[in-house]
Amino acid sequence: MKRIVLILIAILISGVCLVSRAEAEHKYIGIKKCSMCHRSDSKGNQHKQWLSTKHSNAYKTLATDAAVETAKAAGVTGNPQEAAECLRCHVTGQGLDESLFESGFSKEDGVSCEACHGAGSDYMAVSAMRDREKAIEAGLIMPTQAVCIKCHNTDSPNFTGFDFDEYYPKVAHPKP
């Protein structure tokens, strides 16, 4: 009896490890790769739309005087562009292991496609992209409010409130 319990526990633990490993293995490919296929006007030009939002500027914002003031007030010392306390919401995938970022990825791109849609190395293939179920299995996230609130919350020193119905239209990029 004791042995069966031990075996069951072992199976459970290895199952959990497998699941978390599979999730962690998707890599961040960077905005340029997504945009290769998502910059045609007839399909909504998600690249251009994103460039027009503050998300594309979120890392650069950390170099402004306003950011230095914000950091000071929040008790964060040093350059905000190097402070984990700020980067965690101003750059995609911050804090994750370096091995999860492909060479095309750049933190300069701030809050990029993959901050909302998930790391793209496994869903970027057209065969997955054309089949939502497959893409989601390969890591694609079709974001809801829950994704926004990971960053739009009171941990943000400049939080101005968040209302999905008001904010989402400002960053939406539907196919026409």
Among residues 10, 11, 16, 37, which is the contact residue for ligand HEC, using CB under 6 A? 37
Distance CA(140)–CA(108), nearest Å, equals 22
Among residues 27, 113, 122, 139, which is the contact residue for ligand HEC, using CB under 6 A? 113
Residue type, 101: F
- 102 binding ligand HEC? (CB under 6 A): no
Residue type, 64: T
| Dihedral angle computed from the Cα positions of residues 103, 108, 109 and 115, in that order, rounded to the nearest 10 degrees | 80
Of 173, 105, 104, 111, which Cα lies nearest the Cα of 148? 111
Reading the block at residue 138, the tokens are 């390969």
Q: What is the largest CA-CA distance in the chain?
A: 66
Distance CA(2)–CA(40), nearest Å, equals 62
| Contact track, ligand HEC, 51-80, x by CB under 6 A | ---xx-xx--xx-x-xx--xx--x-x---x
- 93 binding ligand HEC? (CB under 6 A): no
End-to-end CA distance of the chain: 62
- 100 binding ligand HEC? (CB under 6 A): no
CB of 7 to ligand HEC, least distance (A): 40
- For binding to ligand HEC (CB under 6 A), which residues are involved? 29, 31, 33-38, 43, 46-47, 50, 54-55, 57-58, 61-62, 64, 66-67, 70-71, 74, 76, 80, 83, 85-86, 88-90, 111, 113-117, 120, 124, 126, 129-130, 132, 135, 142-143, 147-148, 150-153, 155-160, 167-168, 170-171, 173-175
